[in-house]
Amino acid sequence: MTTKLAVVGCGLMGGGIALDAARHGLDVRVYDARPESAADLRQRAAAVYARWVKNERMTQAAAETALARITPTATLAELGGADLIVEAIFEDLALKRGLMAALARHLGANTVVATNTSALRVGDIAEDVSFADRILGLHYFSPAEVSPLVEVVRAACTSEATVARALAFLRETRRTPLPCADSPGFAINRFFCPYYNEAVRIVEDELATPSQVDAVARKRLGAAAGPLTVLNLIGPRVASRAMENLSSLGPFYAATPELLVRGDRNAPYTIADDARLPGNADTIEDRLVAALAVPALELRAEGVADPEETDHGAVMALRFERGPYALIRSYPPSRIRAAITASCTRHGHPIPCLDSLDRR
Ligand SMILES: NC(=O)c1ccc[n+]([C@@H]2O[C@H](COP(=O)([O-])OP(=O)(O)OC[C@H]3O[C@@H](n4cnc5c(N)ncnc54)[C@H](O)[C@@H]3O)[C@@H](O)[C@H]2O)c1
């Protein structure tokens, strides 16, 4: 049975999720508090499909059929018959809770509701909601219409059947699920945010220029783009907020002052792609690797997500050459141990269990 999908919030993410699902043959009803946004989505979809027709990713006939599958609606009541509703409204707990309360009045008996929150706890959004067992997180990465990875976040209240329903939808839309627990940063942002935070700190400590830090990440860690280039793409404001969201996890996860300042001003870095490796490349490499390794070891100890699936997810969503666990394995254990110990000591953070470094 093809999923009848509804999307609430047709901005950057919701729009991408909707137009991708329509492209995979699903009927999609869309609703936005700003009625023009739902209507504008058809224009955006038409433009994206036209590009895909040009690139021979779809035929003209398929583009027309997909476009016809997207139906803007004027009320939430019109979404009640959906099998799955994905919410991608503003990142605000009160707003998201308000939406859940409003949906409760219209929902079919089996409708599942997914939140695309990046920073809130799914359990907090579902708190006191009458259908909490039918709520989960489906965390897409930007651009949602093309990025294949989706974190499937199971909160304590989420039922097995709800997860199964969401996984069926992801199969229909050819997405790769990464099941994870309802923990700050889920799986990917838990290590990705500290990694760019550390890159900012290296510049702050005047160890290297932004271009040199990115060059070390590309040439030594095999990243497709350096952490500061990616930070520019995400937007310093969003990146800074995402890092702040992890602060409850301990001192290692504190946003560095320079990131907060850049976040406030939304000020990107100026980066040249052709920078050479600086003389202290080994030191910078160790600091970047430790910034990935500490969260990765903690994630594994907490059982947030499967390490192999997390590695695969990092390759898909972040275009890393290898994920954090494969990266750790590629270094001599003594070097990783020293890098982690130095980093945790610098931050006053507990050193995670390092026993696994010797099991290869
Ligand atoms: N931007 C990203 O890279 C990214 C990545 C992953 C997850 N997310 C998450 O996805 C969600 C949406 O982010 P976005 O970047 O698409 O935001 P956006 O601002 O582009 O879009 C949000 C849309 O929601 C609508 N809206 C707001 N309140 C509403 C309500 N109560 N009812 C109906 N519609 C409402 C707005 O009119 C707007 O069109 C957030 O929770 C965000 O954290 C964003």
For atom 27 of ligand 1, the residue with the nearest CA is: 89
Judge if the beta carbon of residue 120 lies within 6 A of ligand 1: no
Its sign, for the CA torsion 260, 237, 285, 339, is positive
For atom 30 of ligand 1, the residue with the nearest CA is: 33
Question: What residues does each domain of the chain span?
Answer: 5-181, 188-358
Judge if the beta carbon of residue 125 lies within 6 A of ligand 1: no
pLDDT of the chain along its 360 residues, tens only?
799 999 999 999 999 999 999 999 999 999 999 999 988 999 999 999 999 999 999 999 999 999 999 999 999 999 989 999 999 999 889 999 999 999 999 999 999 999 999 889 999 999 999 999 999 999 999 899 999 999 999 999 999 999 999 999 999 999 999 999 999 999 999 999 999 999 999 999 999 999 999 999 999 999 999 999 999 998 999 899 999 999 999 999 999 999 999 999 999 999 987 778 999 999 999 999 999 999 999 999 999 999 999 999 999 999 899 999 999 999 999 999 999 999 999 999 999 988 877 665
5-181 shares its CATH topology with 188-358:
no
Judge if the beta carbon of residue 16 lies within 6 A of ligand 1: no
CATH code reported for the domain at 5-181: 3.40.50.720
Torsion angles phi and psi, residue 351, rounded to 5? -75, 125
Judge if the beta carbon of residue 140 lies within 6 A of ligand 1: yes
Q: Which residues contact 268 (CB under 8 A, 6 or more apart)?
A: 231, 232, 235, 236, 262
For atom 12 of ligand 1, the residue with the nearest CA is: 88
> In a mutational test of the pocket of ligand 1, which residue from 32, 76, 97, 189 has the highest number of ligand atoms less than 8 Å from its CB?
32
Fold designation for 188-358: N-(1-d-carboxylethyl)-l-norvaline Dehydrogenase; domain 2 (1.10.1040)
Distance in Å, CA 360 to ligand 1 centroid = 42
CA dist., res. 122 & res. 30, Å (int) = 22
CA dist., res. 196 & res. 258, Å (int) = 12
